[in-house]
Amino acid sequence: MMNFNRKTIVIIIVAALIGFGIWQGFLKKEKPSFTLAEVVRGNILQEVSETGQVKKGEEINISFKNAGKIEKIYVEVGDNVIAGQGLAKLDTGQLFIQLAESKAGLAIIEAGKKDAQISLESARQKLEDTIATANETIEKTYKDALSALDDSYLKIYNSFIFIDLLKGTYFERGDIESINIAENKETIERALNQAKFYIDKAKDSQSKEDIDTALLEAKEALLKIKKALENIRNIIEAGGYSEIVPIADKNTLDTHKSNINSAHSNIVSSQTDISLTKTTNATEINTARSQVSVLENQLQEGENSLYQAQINQARAQIQLLENQIEDATLKSPTRGQITKINKKVGEQSMPGDSIVSLLPLVPFTIEADIYEEDVVKINIDNPVDISLVAFPEQSFKGKIISIDPAEKLIEGVVYYEVSIAFEKLPEGVKPGMTTDVIIKTALKENVLIISEDAVQEKDGKQIVEVFKDGISEDREIEAGLFGSDGMVEVVSGLEEGEEVILY
């Protein structure tokens, strides 16, 4: 059995601690220190909860939501009215003009979207055609390059055959001229073999890379041969061979020099054509692809697309105008009797001005004081869930029938009194009974929603932090309805399925 002294044990403990520290600091993968939530579709409900008190039905003052000139008054003092009956109407001529303009604007945007979709299909087809044409063009350019390579090899080969014949005929004396001619002949032969190797490889593979390489090697070989032919021509003229080599052979040599120069020019021209074709093709393809990308971005799916944002805005404006037209007719919130007419036809009405006074026929209503930040969410006819302390096992339905425009100060806080009518009066209800009311102020279905904990205010903008591929980024959103369950509607700025960081 192995024995350890105290020093050994200390060393082992220290090593273990160091190892643990390394694992903690470098190897252990820490989990993200934040919580993520997915952007989903769902329903969002906004509610206002408050306590109220049952009171005997009292006269209520009814007013328009919006300002305008009174066009008609449909009732007189003493008339009995039912819930939903029209009492008065504002002039809506200008609203109908704005509505027609907004609908026309929406039609233009939708037509623009349709045209953009047609343009996108055309742009995609153009991109396909451009790519096909580019492929055909570059293939032809490389085919022409192979022809130039074949031609250059033939000219190199013919030059070599002639120089070999010239050497064997006139330069076998062992003098310095013959030695120089032999060296230049060997240069031409090596260049011939060099060019043949790469040209054969390019012809066999037909690959663009091999053709490019063959062009480079052929150009280099032709330059070497061009120099060798010039050397041979100078040797003939400089030595005593000027009279030995006949003019016909000199002329043939000059012809081969010219052919090599021509072949070199053709190879350079092929390289230039290939480079220019590639550049032109890339430019045309990028231009076509850019046009497709622009149109795709405009027509992308989701709430963030350019056209969809414009369509949503136009539809929202139409909805607003239609609501204003609907609200331009003042309706009775409940059954009752007209006790006062407070305005005349042709007079201007402001929000909160009492137009008609009504005494409800129902014997009881519920009065509730609503905090100033909540009262702006409430409208006449909002449905209400009612619970009475005296009837703990039951729930009743009602609706808002009036909102007092005058504020009430309760312990220094501003409230506004609202009246709620029972849809069906419970038996045994009495004045003064305490109620709990939940006013359903708004409901939106199948909209994008996220937790309120993801939304921050920065420089007057609503910002969320989107987490994607291990990276987070700030993104501005447009928030819509804030629900009572801590969720908020996202009008624009996010897509379904994205993840945001909660705070």
pLDDT at res. 439:
92
**Would 129 be classed as within a structural domain?**
yes
pLDDT at res. 209:
95
Total residues belonging to the chain: 503
pLDDT at res. 274:
96
255 with 120, same domain: the answer is yes
pLDDT digits (tens, 9 = 90+) for 22-42: 445 444 444 457 788 989 999
Q: Is 324 helix (H, G, I), strand (E, B) or coil?
A: helix
pLDDT category at 484 given cuts 50, 70, 90 is: confident
pLDDT at res. 495:
85
What angle (nearest 5°) sits at the alpha carbon of residue 136, between those of residues 135 and 137?
90
Residues 6+ apart with CB under 8 A from 368: 50, 51, 52, 53, 417, 418, 420, 435, 437
In which element (H, E) is residue 196 found? helix 176-205
In which element (H, E) is residue 198 found? helix 176-205
Q: Taking residues 326-343, report their average pLDDT.
A: 90
The mean of the pLDDT values for the chain is 87
**Would 229 be classed as within a structural domain?**
yes
pLDDT at res. 458:
84
pLDDT at res. 411:
83
pLDDT at res. 276:
96
Q: Is 100 helix (H, G, I), strand (E, B) or coil?
A: helix
Comparing CA positions, the residue from 421, 422, 433, 419 lying closest to residue 396 is 422
Q: Taking residues 298-320, report their average pLDDT.
A: 78
In 237-355, where do the E strands start and end? Answer: 329-331, 336-341, 348-349
pLDDT at res. 4:
46
136 with 260, same domain: the answer is yes
pLDDT at res. 313:
87
C-alpha 410/C-alpha 369 separation (Å) is 9
Q: Which residue has the tokens 């036809």?
A: 345
Q: What is the 3-state secondary structure (H, E, C) of 55-122?
A: EECCCEEECCCCCEEEEEECCCCCCEECCCCEEEEECCHHHHHHHHHHHHHHHHHHHHHHHHHHHHHH
pLDDT at res. 15:
52
| Structure-block tokens of residue 482 | 């804030």
Comparing CA positions, the residue from 215, 200, 216 lying closest to residue 148 is 215
138 with 236, same domain: the answer is yes
pLDDT digits (tens, 9 = 90+) for 115-159: 888 998 999 999 999 999 999 999 999 999 999 999 999 999 999
pLDDT at res. 191:
96
pLDDT at res. 474:
85
**Which of 299, 321, 346 is at the close of a domain?**
299
pLDDT digits (tens, 9 = 90+) for 446-482: 888 999 899 988 887 889 989 888 888 888 888 888 8
Written as one letter, the residue type at 437 is V
Residues 6+ apart with CB under 8 A from 77: 338, 339, 340, 341
* Contact yes or no for 471/457 (Cβ under 8 A): no
282 with 154, same domain: the answer is yes
**Which of 254, 276, 299 is at the close of a domain?**
299
274 with 140, same domain: the answer is yes
Domain count of the fold of the chain:
2
Share of the chain above pLDDT 90, in %: 51
151 with 289, same domain: the answer is yes
| Structure-block tokens of residue 457 | 């205010």
Q: Taking residues 204-219, report their average pLDDT.
A: 95
Domain containing residue 208: 116-299
pLDDT digits (tens, 9 = 90+) for 365-387: 888 899 888 888 898 888 999 98
pLDDT category at 14 given cuts 50, 70, 90 is: very low
pLDDT at 8 over 90: no
pTM of the shown model: 0.51
> Between helices 306-327 and 247-299, what is the axis angle to 10°?
20
**Would 240 be classed as within a structural domain?**
yes
C-alpha 396/C-alpha 338 separation (Å) is 27
**Which of 299, 329, 354 is at the close of a domain?**
299
25 with 127, same domain: the answer is no
pLDDT digits (tens, 9 = 90+) for 228-284: 999 999 999 887 899 899 999 999 999 999 999 999 999 999 999 999 999 999 999
292 with 172, same domain: the answer is yes
C-alpha 137/C-alpha 224 separation (Å) is 32
C-alpha 493/C-alpha 35 separation (Å) is 20
**Would 180 be classed as within a structural domain?**
yes
pLDDT at res. 381:
83
C-alpha 233/C-alpha 173 separation (Å) is 18
C-alpha 318/C-alpha 322 separation (Å) is 6
**Would 59 be classed as within a structural domain?**
no
pLDDT digits (tens, 9 = 90+) for 57-102: 778 888 998 999 999 999 999 899 998 899 999 999 999 999 999 9
| Dihedral sign of CA atoms 343, 346, 347, 350 in order | positive
**Would 76 be classed as within a structural domain?**
no
Share of the chain above pLDDT 70, in %: 93
